[in-house]
């Protein structure tokens, strides 16, 4: 994911959602989940205090 973000930055593309995803995966890894499947990130999201963005 880091390589894709670097390539996007070089090309000038806006990748705000990808940056958020990378941040979530980093938090997931740093929380001791490095040996687990990344699909488990949903637990990190569910336990987050961040309010979801709802479409109008």
Which residues make Cβ contacts (< 8 Å) with residue 2, sequence separation at least 6?
22
The model's pLDDT over 1-56, given as tens digits with 9 standing for 90+, comes to 889 999 998 999 999 989 988 888 888 888 888 888 878 888 877 877 666 556 55
| CB-based contact 28:41 (threshold 8 Å) | yes
- Predicted TM-score of the model (pTM): 0.64
- Cα(13)–Cα(39) distance, rounded to whole angstroms? 26
């Amino acid at each position: 994911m880091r390589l894709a973000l670097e390539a996007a930055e070089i090309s000038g593309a806006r990748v705000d959602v990808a940056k958020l995803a990378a941040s979530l995966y980093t938090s997931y890894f740093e929380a001791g989940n490095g040996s687990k499947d990344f699909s488990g990130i949903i637990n990190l999201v569910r336990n987050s205090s961040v309010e979801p963005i709802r479409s109008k």
